[in-house]
Structure 1
Amino acid sequence: MAENNLMQLRKSAGWSRPQLAERMGTSAQQIEKLEKGMRRLTLDWIERFAAAFEISPAAIISGESPPPNAKPVLLEGPSAERMHEDLPIYGTALGAPKMIDGEAVEQTHLNQGDVVGYAKRPVILNGRADAYALYVVGQSMAPKYDEGEIILAETKRPARIGDNVVVYLRARGDDDDGQRARAALVKRLVRKTAAYIELEQYTPPITFRISIDEITRIDRVMSLSDLLG
């Protein structure tokens, strides 16, 4: 987990946890958990802290302590206040598990024609028509991604080994036009060959293979460092 400066920034601003919580519309208990690393610092939380402190989101996880008596200052860089809320969130639902070698692998039903809302677009994605957002369904990628969390994916950059990915499984029978997907898998890419890809999920821990013939495309899930530039 990346280091954060939350406690140092709060103390430098002269705020108590309840005061910061009031500014952010949350509870002092949540602030404490985030400061101590007891709760994962998602992009949404980073944006909210950055807006409260009036600093760049990148400064939240820089790992650099502010000097004594320093006050938060407005820095150049991605700002939550400048983000457009126009990144499409596509509808997802938990599908029937895909049985692979006797193991049940969670699948996601995804309809890219069904935009259920719009997320804030990180500045680095301005003008990028290939980027989109999804709600995570199921628990197979926890604790990396919790159910209900928003992830951002892109089609432009090819996925590399070690990336988290959205793998689209092609439709069957008469519905198979080579492009239409029947379901998607949100997993970690472990290996890729001409015949198959190997994927990993965390809960329960399973590594499995999917034939290339079953796949229409593989989109890369963007990391926090990607989004902060």
Structure 2
Amino acid sequence: LNATIKPTSTTKTTNSSPQNQSLVLEEKLPILGYAQGNIIDRGNVIKTPIGYIDKPHSLANYTDLYCVYITGDSMSPEHKNGDLRIATPHLPYNNGDTVIFVVKDPSTGEETSYIRTYLRTTTTESGLVLAIFSQHYPSVDINFNNKNIVFIHKVLSYNEVLGL
């Protein structure tokens, strides 16, 4: 368990010795690599955390949150190169939400992570199910065969991170 223990600032004790202070376990969020914010390079999918950040108090009731760094500029100005984003596998994503998703190349098995805006899922006349995403720069829509998508997770908005 990666955590730090800190005394609470609101703890009132009659004895100031460390044994009598209430302790709060400060949770950490894992940083799982980066999601690609451009269409040329591939984002990595790391199974082992490369670092940790303190979990914001406003997200205390969320579980299984994780962070990724953004690379590239296709999602700027909303998500800039080097920005850190928090994602959740448990909240539903809707049209217009920013998501992190992983696509598996059917010929090589290589997995690539992306950050994009989810638009919709559609079925072609031939029965192929496509997930459609967009990016900001250049402004293009990108289609992926739904059967090659390993997962799609919602990126928390700034308001959600603040608990609003």
TM over 0.5: yes
Identity between Structure 1 and Structure 2 (%): 25
The one of 114, 117, 121 aligned to 1:192: 121
Q: CA separation in 1, counterparts of 2:161 and 2:35? A: 25
Which runs of structure 1 show a deviation greater than 3 angstroms over 4 or more consecutive aligned residues? 82-85, 104-107, 171-175
Residue of structure 2 in register with 1:71 after alignment:
none
Residue of structure 2 in register with 1:149 after alignment:
83
TM-superposed deviation, 1:137: 0.7
TM-superposed deviation, 1:190: 1.2
Q: CA separation in 2, counterparts of 1:146 and 1:94? A: 11
TM-superposed deviation, 1:170: 2.0
TM-superposed deviation, 1:110: 2.0
Which residues of 2 match residues 210-221 of structure 1 at below 5 A? Answer: 210-221=144-155
Which residues of 2 match residues 1-229 of structure 1 at below 5 A? Answer: 84=26, 86-92=28-34, 104=39, 106-113=41-48, 115-126=49-60, 128-173=62-107, 175=109, 182-193=111-122, 195-229=129-163
From the two aligned structures, give the one with the greater helix fraction: 1
Q: CA separation in 1, counterparts of 2:97 and 2:139? A: 17
From the two aligned structures, give the one with the greater strand fraction: 2
TM-superposed deviation, 1:209: 1.3
- Report the AA paired with residue 91 of structure 1: G
Q: CA separation in 2, counterparts of 1:91 and 1:208? A: 22
CA-atom RMSD in angstroms: 2.6
- Report the AA paired with residue 215 of structure 1: I
Q: TM-score, normalised by structure 2?
A: 0.71
Listed as ranges, the gaps of 5+ residues in structure 2 are 1-23, 124-128
TM-superposed deviation, 1:172: 3.2
Listed as ranges, the gaps of 5+ residues in structure 1 are 1-81, 98-103, 176-180
Q: CA separation in 2, counterparts of 1:93 and 1:156? A: 19
Higher relative contact order (CA 8 A, sep 6+): 2
